[in-house]
Structure 1
Amino acid sequence: MVNTKNFIVAFVVATLVAAGAVDATADTPALMPEKHLSMFKEHCFECHDGATKEANIDLENLSFDVSKDLATAGLWQKVLGSINSGEMPPEDVEPLGDSVKADFLEDLSQRMVTARQILSDSGGAITLRRLNRREYANTIESLLGVRPDVTTLPDDQATSGFDTVGSSLFFSSDQLEQYLATARATLELALTSKSPIKSKTVRIEPEVEYNPHYAAAAAAMRDIAARSNAFLSQSEKPASDFGLLDEYQARKQRTAEWLPQLEQYLARPETKSGITLIMTIKQGGMTKVKMPVLHENADGKYVIRLRAAMYPDAGERFHYLEFTSGYGTGRKLLGWRKVTAPLNRPEIIEFPIEHSPGQKQQVWIHQRSHQDRGDKNLATLDMRANGIGTPPGIWIDWAELIGPDPVPSRANHSASELLEKVELVTDAKLAKQFLHRFATLAFRGEEPAPEFINRLVDQYLGSLSKGESSVDALIGPMAVVLASPSFMYMVESTGDTSSPRLTGAELAVRLAYMLWSSPPDDQLQALARSGELLNPSVLKQQTARLLADDRADEFVRGFVFQWLQMERLDMFQFDGGDFPTFDNAVRANAREEIFETVHLMLKEKLPLGTLLKSDFVVVNDLMAGYYGISNVQGYHFRKVLVPSDSLRGGLLGTAAVLAMGSDGQRASAVERGAWVLRHLLNDPPPPAPPNVPQLSRLAGEVLSARELARAHQEQPQCTNCHRKIDPLGFGLENFNAAGLWRDKEIIGTGRQKAGKWQIEKVFDIDPSGRLPDGETFADYFAMRDAVARHTDDFAQGFTESLITYGLGRTYGFADHDLAKTIIDAAKPNNYQLSDFIDALVQSPTFQTK
């Protein structure tokens, strides 16, 4: 199918030549010959003249000189790609003759090479940028050993989808106070001495802590129901005589519909010696065990230890404990543990947590949840079915909180040594030495200016004169260091400023922030100072070392999350009534599945194509249960082989990708198709045109996905995009919005109550479609195979994103040769992930300011 944007480029270029906008006879080595004008006239003018501007793209200023600027060359690159791929001209336009096409491609290819040479010196500059939120938090932690609270700091406005792109990382003067306040608060936590807290064990006995309250709640329900019925059975006395507000309250409370659930709970013999985890609207949504509150000065490592068993008749989802934390509003998901022991042989389960200094939190233990009305809807549906409610899944005998144990400092070795000496600072001379050393560490090895240190010492002395202790007096100057440009920005201006190449220190910083999102460690800095890091073999060894380090998790999460646009996974709420198994646990672990898959690929040196199709998945017990994969035990992620006919194995079969291709209610062929084009085939569709008319004539009608797509294609401004996007999305139509297989498309209509639709319409699913190059497929499996054959396209898109992330600027035309070099280096080893990274790091571009 035609790529609209690429198609218009070709037309406008020809139009400009015809209109005299370019001089076709000028002595410009990258100028396209005028003879190709006839091709554009014959194949392009009808739809893409200046008046029509189909797809709302106006390129009237496009020059026929391919080397005019980066934007012009970039558009010509797209023209070349679309003709090479067969997307242009479209099917409903007379095809190009073989000789015409070959002649045009030869001329354009030659001009592209020339244009790259002309523009190579003027493009690809790496923008000076500030640390993004992730990097700022990691850098502060590496210096102080305490992680700062960055929630009040400015958001990172990602450009090209990445928070490392310098052009979007602004810093204004009014934000300085926010950074100063954050730095000061973190310094106070790091430098204020406190008495160590002795580790202890606190046990919660749920039958003592909670069951009396549940019994009182049941008694209250019985009482108000009795009073309501007594009032409604007579007419002489007012509601107030029965302790009621009015008749409305009496009618609402007379049935006490949740009372049977509480009564059954209290009647269970196991609740005499523990707590049964159930959903109950009257008690805050669910029964739970609340651990003791951890206060601001109780930081350290803790272990939650409990004795539990499961009810075998409950669904597997209810055999998982969910651990959440918070204080006040909002809960943070900590993790899950599956309970497998029966009631007659309970098991001991341990769950480690870490409590950060300066925070206040309380951990709750409860069953897996949606934490929305979905839980209530499910409980209501079960209550209507059995008269009681959702059966219990887990029984907890007791729970203990053990700790705290000290947390090893996360400050790097040099910073830890310095901070240990802070209390030895007693005068201006020692303060000057201390602040000079601290600033040098904070500035990642760069020497601070003497006048800057002198001003910090003056601030220190001023605080001392006001009666502050020496340690407290240091906090202000140190906060200034942590809010100064040399700390906040990735400065690359030291050494020989006449040379564009990075110094060893600058290269160490760029490498560490790419792979760790934090400063270089002592080993990397030592190699930088000695000059050895500039040796390609040493640089290669260090790249491998950094990738093998646990801190490379920052690269995997930071890059992969943004590359695959995984923020969509959190955009929509999946109603528990419609998607009972797609809860908080699945959403979080589905995201983790992709990260852990990439980790495994790096560790085992697996090819990039593994993400397109593989004979294994990387799952834990929770995700295996969701996918219906048996014999996976334990919460840790591991490689699990799957048969050739498995739905899973590759990104297209992951719950995360499939859920992202929905709106939380219905699967979206458009979102899924566009995602495949953008991230797997490196053929992103153009943005949707503005002011797309609503399909008002279909208001109130319930249509299948195919019918909706056909309706959209009736709109002229929608046709071209949908013809390319939708056929790919249809290949995934057998997966519902939550990524589970279905044989029919079922759409609920009418009034929804407690997760149940009044009417459901059923449609057959047609999963056939085709790729942009015209290859057709009959179903999901054939589509996955077809996409997997486009590994080269996938590698190109991956490389472009890696360049953007690693260099901190948007991939552009000038990066074509760099991308080709990286791909050529990775291809002989079947596109191993580490080869892409190593080739980028070894490139002159990465090592240039």
Structure 2
Amino acid sequence: MNRQRDSIVPFLIFASLFAALPNVPVLGEDTTRMSPKHWSMIENHCLDCHDSATQEANIDLERLSLNVAEDVATAERWQKVMGALNSGEMPPEDAEPIPAQQKLEFLDVLSQRMVTARRKLSDTGGDIAMRRLNRREYANTIEDLLGVRPDTSTLPDDQATAGFDTDGASLFLSSNQIEQYLSLAQQSLRLTLKANPPKPAKTIRIEPEETYTPHYTASAERMRDTGKRARAFLAQTEKPASEFGLLDAYQAKKQKHQEWLPLMEDYLSRPETQTGITLIMTIKEGGYTKVKLPVFHPGAEGRYQIRVRAGNYPDADPRLHYLEFSQGVGTARTRLGWRKVNAPLDAPEIIEFTVDHRPGDKQQVWIHQRSHQDRGDKNLATQHMWQNGIGTPPGIWIDWVEVVGPFPSTQTDAMQSCRDAILLERPDSISEQNHAREIISRFAHRAFRGSPVSEDYQEQLLQHFVRARKNGETFLDALIQPLSIVLASPSFLYHVEKTEAASERLSAHELAVRLSYLLWSRPPDATLLDAANSGSLLNPIGLHEQTERMLGDSKSKNFVESFVHQWLQVERLDMFQFNGAEFPSFDNAVRENARQELFQTFRHLLDEDLSLGKFLKSDFVVINDLLADYYGIDGVNGHHFRAVSVPTDSLRGGLLGTAAVLAMGSDGQRSSPVERGAWVLRHLLNDPPPPAPPNVPQLSRLAGETYSARDLALAHQEEPQCASCHRKIDPIGFGLEHFDATGQWRDQELIGLGKRKYGKFQKHVAFEIDAHGKLPGGETFAGYHQLRDAIAQHEDDFARGFAESLIAYGLGRPFGFADEELADQICASAKRSQHTIRAFIHALVQSDTFQNR
């Protein structure tokens, strides 16, 4: 339900001032209890729908205590009652209205009770939980200490509960998981302490025709031979299939017509395949032709430059004018990036791409055309084969590929720097054991981020070193065990703040750590520690300066991507497979770049100090050439993201027009007004719908029928269990129905019928799209543009939701009733600065809540 609106209840200003006065009397139940008269209003206007038996939208008010401050859960329920009444959402339009004076008096008393309840409950409801490092923070912290980035896939899950991966309640640790941390620490320490000397750079040129043309020639010959033998067997009856090199008649019939032979023959007939490789789709050769680079082995870490001389086929689908770079070993692939080839065949250009090979890894880089997540590439090739007898026409020709390296990279330089910092130079005057003691002591102090390291603990660590040396291990090998124990210790794995301290205020060093993990997801750097040591960090001006510096640093990418990913629930983009045969343009390239569009838009608003409201509607989009092609926006060249102006009637400009948000509001096949409407309520209007009830009907009466998305949603509204929520959710989603499951505009909704053939429906039924609807506040719209305009008027609601998410992310616990006042303060401060993202962050960092334990 909607949060309290300042403009609707101006008398709250007086209540807030009252709460700030000195010498406030001790809070008792009489100052937080609603009277029977107020309960009578609830009975008369609310319990028909929200009693214990009905519980519409999962809300039961019948058992609600009159003591607003009885506990946090009760206070939160009263907060929702106040928000629903303030916004006019309740009572609904078809119910008897509450008399204006009675409603005003009720809200007046309730608002005062809420102010008092917040003060009473804030000491118990707003604790910042001690939590372990999440996977991102752990990897970044190890990287800061050792210069290598560990594989965290085997570590405990970060999101056992809903919310952000900084939520301490979900970041538990069991004893058997310590072994995982210990093993990872040992692997990382070996890579750092026993690093191989850098290898000299060299250039390897790959001439694709030397490998691939003979391979495809042999493949074509095998096809001809197999087809010839199959036809010969089928033309006689005396000899068994085995004499023709076949298993049986069934195999012979399948192999009689080598349907992919024309594709191979067409490939080999092209003159350019005698001097390079043509990139095509083929089910016979792994989905697509590709250039495989030499394997990068462990010990050859560093940065490699890849140079590709290529030209495009001008008549090909423009989507196939992009090179896709991927890496991995075996069938598991990670996509590295895309580069557009603009030059024609007769005047090829050189495309450059860099790859960082991490210490200890083994990987191989492939260069190919754009790919789909599922069997889309093979299905598309089959579909094109029906049409032209050959398959998908080629998009790019590659003349040659050069791999140059390894060169020193940021990571190899960091690894050497970390190694030097760990292995202190040993003076002649001290023994090896004392030298090891000093190494262990300094390392533990850095690893524990300022938490004290007892002498007993250091001595125990040293004994591991001593025993290892007695067992014949080298000096470096003997150090690995004690240092790995440090990296598997609670003081390293947990955010530790000294709760036994007399003051509730964080120390300067603790504040530096908290700030650094908020903005960088990693330990403080030397500059931030200097500010803590000098005491300037405890000064509001000094804290502001450090926050500004850190937001401008490249390491703030950790905050941007992790916060936005979770705030907007971008994980939904990976929940479904989008059928490549039905949606050929929505491939891996669009999916990954659409995700980046959200991050890069946030980054642009942050860097340019623009209003958060630009997320609701803007006259620009932050895209690269690949997304510009997908959106049909001309004049964008280059793979880097940048702000591009769009006209006022553009479909893009704001979150609602992004491919990522629209695709997340689907199931990979059909758009979902329910998912899209719920997403808008949750993230743009800060009015999250309740969870679906457990007894949602399956609408079995509709089985076997084909309905439009609107009709299906309306059918749910006919069910009593669903009506209260769907009447609020669905009308918003209807306004986005002109976008298909992948965010492309359509004039009709097409629904596939019958069986698929090679991934694609052969028959469709079309429905006209009705995109009118209304928002919960009653604003109506006749289509997408009016919907976007209406939502853009709710910038204060959007800002409030953003502030609540930022509080939850930054404090490591779910936003709760005790945080309402902090959210009020942050929103008020940010509004004075036109709702810039920096203003929200500064307001949180400068708050007492952030600076207290």
TM-score by length of 1: 0.95
Show the counterpart of 1:9.
none
**How do residues 108-123 of structure 1 correspond to structure 2 at under 5 angstroms?**
108-123=110-125
Show the counterpart of 1:279.
281
Partner Cα distance (1:582, 1:100) in 2: 55
CA distance change for structure 1 residues 501 and 240 in 2, over 3 Å: closer, same or farther?
same
- 8 Å CA contact retained: 1:825, 1:839: yes
Show the counterpart of 1:468.
473
Partner Cα distance (1:761, 1:423) in 2: 79
- 8 Å CA contact retained: 1:606, 1:832: yes
Show the counterpart of 1:590.
594
Q: Deviations over 1:269-305 (max 9, x none)?
A: 1011000000011111111000000001111000111
Q: Deviations over 1:114-150 (max 9, x none)?
A: 1112222222111111100000000000000111111
**How do residues 216-227 of structure 1 correspond to structure 2 at under 5 angstroms?**
216-227=218-229
* C-alpha displacement of 1:234: 1.5
Q: Which moved more, 1:212-221 or 1:158-167?
A: 158-167
* C-alpha displacement of 1:44: 2.2
Amino acid in structure 2 at the alignment position of 1:507 = L
Q: Secondary structure at the match of 2:512?
A: helix
1:785 equivalenced with 2:766 (yes/no): no
Q: What number of residue pairs does the alignment pair up?
A: 826
Show the counterpart of 2:485.
480
**How do residues 625-640 of structure 1 correspond to structure 2 at under 5 angstroms?**
625-640=629-644
Amino acid in structure 1 at the alignment position of 2:238 = E
- 8 Å CA contact retained: 2:423, 2:439: no
1:419 equivalenced with 2:422 (yes/no): yes
Show the counterpart of 1:577.
581
Q: Secondary structure at the match of 1:78?
A: helix
Show the counterpart of 1:8.
none
Show the counterpart of 1:17.
none
Partner Cα distance (1:230, 1:688) in 2: 63
Partner Cα distance (2:435, 2:746) in 1: 71
CA distance change for structure 1 residues 576 and 801 in 2, over 3 Å: closer, same or farther?
same
Amino acid in structure 2 at the alignment position of 1:171 = L
Partner Cα distance (1:61, 1:144) in 2: 56
Show the counterpart of 2:78.
76
Show the counterpart of 2:21.
none
CA distance change for structure 1 residues 713 and 349 in 2, over 3 Å: closer, same or farther?
same
Show the counterpart of 2:67.
65
Show the counterpart of 2:494.
489
* C-alpha displacement of 1:743: 0.4
Partner Cα distance (2:409, 2:422) in 1: 16
Q: Deviations over 1:627-669 (max 9, x none)?
A: 0000100000011000000000000000000000000000000
- 8 Å CA contact retained: 1:709, 1:726: yes
Show the counterpart of 2:22.
none
- 8 Å CA contact retained: 1:423, 1:470: no
**How do residues 761-800 of structure 1 correspond to structure 2 at under 5 angstroms?**
761-800=765-804
Which of 597, 600, 618 is the equivalent residue of 2:604? 600
Partner Cα distance (2:494, 2:768) in 1: 56
* C-alpha displacement of 1:90: 1.4
Amino acid in structure 2 at the alignment position of 1:642 = V
Partner Cα distance (1:235, 1:639) in 2: 71
Amino acid in structure 2 at the alignment position of 1:650 = G
- 8 Å CA contact retained: 1:423, 1:471: no
Which of 86, 90, 93 is the equivalent residue of 1:91? 93
* C-alpha displacement of 1:413: 10
Show the counterpart of 2:171.
169
CA distance change for structure 1 residues 311 and 50 in 2, over 3 Å: closer, same or farther?
same
CA distance change for structure 1 residues 80 and 325 in 2, over 3 Å: closer, same or farther?
same
TM-score by length of 2: 0.95
Which of 660, 679, 696 is the equivalent residue of 2:683? 679
**How do residues 230-629 of structure 1 correspond to structure 2 at under 5 angstroms?**
230-409=232-411, 411=414, 415=418, 417-421=420-424, 427-493=432-498, 497-629=501-633
CA distance change for structure 1 residues 535 and 411 in 2, over 3 Å: closer, same or farther?
farther
Partner Cα distance (1:568, 1:443) in 2: 36
Partner Cα distance (2:406, 2:621) in 1: 37
Show the counterpart of 1:728.
732
- 8 Å CA contact retained: 1:158, 1:165: no
* C-alpha displacement of 1:27: 5.7
* C-alpha displacement of 1:58: 4.5
Q: Secondary structure at the match of 1:309?
A: strand
Q: Secondary structure at the match of 1:383?
A: helix
Q: Which moved more, 1:424-433 or 1:368-377?
A: 424-433
- 8 Å CA contact retained: 2:166, 2:809: yes
- 8 Å CA contact retained: 1:159, 1:810: no
Q: Which moved more, 1:184-193 or 1:402-411?
A: 402-411
Runs of 4+ in 1 over 6 A off after TM superposition: 422-426
- 8 Å CA contact retained: 2:191, 2:360: yes
* C-alpha displacement of 1:826: 0.7
Partner Cα distance (2:441, 2:557) in 1: 32
Amino acid in structure 2 at the alignment position of 1:437 = R
Partner Cα distance (2:659, 2:82) in 1: 36
Show the counterpart of 2:185.
183
* C-alpha displacement of 1:412: 9.5
Show the counterpart of 1:751.
755
Partner Cα distance (1:422, 1:340) in 2: 54
- 8 Å CA contact retained: 1:161, 1:565: no
- 8 Å CA contact retained: 1:415, 1:441: no
RMSD: 1.6
- 8 Å CA contact retained: 2:227, 2:256: yes
Show the counterpart of 2:673.
669
- 8 Å CA contact retained: 1:73, 1:115: yes
Show the counterpart of 2:657.
653
- 8 Å CA contact retained: 2:260, 2:390: yes
Partner Cα distance (1:51, 1:256) in 2: 67
- 8 Å CA contact retained: 1:3, 1:685: no
Amino acid in structure 2 at the alignment position of 1:435 = I
Amino acid in structure 1 at the alignment position of 2:74 = T
Partner Cα distance (1:141, 1:56) in 2: 46
Show the counterpart of 1:46.
48
Which of 35, 38, 45 is the equivalent residue of 1:36? 38
- 8 Å CA contact retained: 1:158, 1:164: no
Q: Deviations over 1:315-348 (max 9, x none)?
A: 1110000000000231000000000001110001
Partner Cα distance (2:417, 2:303) in 1: 24
Q: Secondary structure at the match of 2:125?
A: coil
Q: Deviations over 1:482-504 (max 9, x none)?
A: 0111111110107x801000000
Q: Deviations over 1:814-841 (max 9, x none)?
A: 1111111111111012100000000100
Q: Which moved more, 1:692-701 or 1:510-519?
A: 692-701
Which of 815, 820, 823 is the equivalent residue of 2:819? 815
Q: Deviations over 1:590-626 (max 9, x none)?
A: 0001101111111100000010000000000000000
Partner Cα distance (1:147, 1:449) in 2: 28
CA distance change for structure 1 residues 3 and 704 in 2, over 3 Å: closer, same or farther?
farther
Partner Cα distance (1:470, 1:74) in 2: 59
Q: Secondary structure at the match of 1:235?
A: coil
* C-alpha displacement of 1:400: 1.0
Amino acid in structure 1 at the alignment position of 2:421 = L
Partner Cα distance (2:798, 2:143) in 1: 36
Q: Which runs of 5+ in 1 are unaligned?
A: 5-25
Partner Cα distance (1:99, 1:237) in 2: 99
What is the identity percentage for the equivalent residue pairs of Structure 1 and Structure 2? 62
Q: Which moved more, 1:684-693 or 1:403-412?
A: 403-412
- 8 Å CA contact retained: 2:29, 2:67: no
Q: Deviations over 1:515-567 (max 9, x none)?
A: 00000000111111221110110000000000000000000011000000000
Partner Cα distance (1:818, 1:831) in 2: 16
- 8 Å CA contact retained: 1:165, 1:805: yes
Amino acid in structure 1 at the alignment position of 2:278 = T
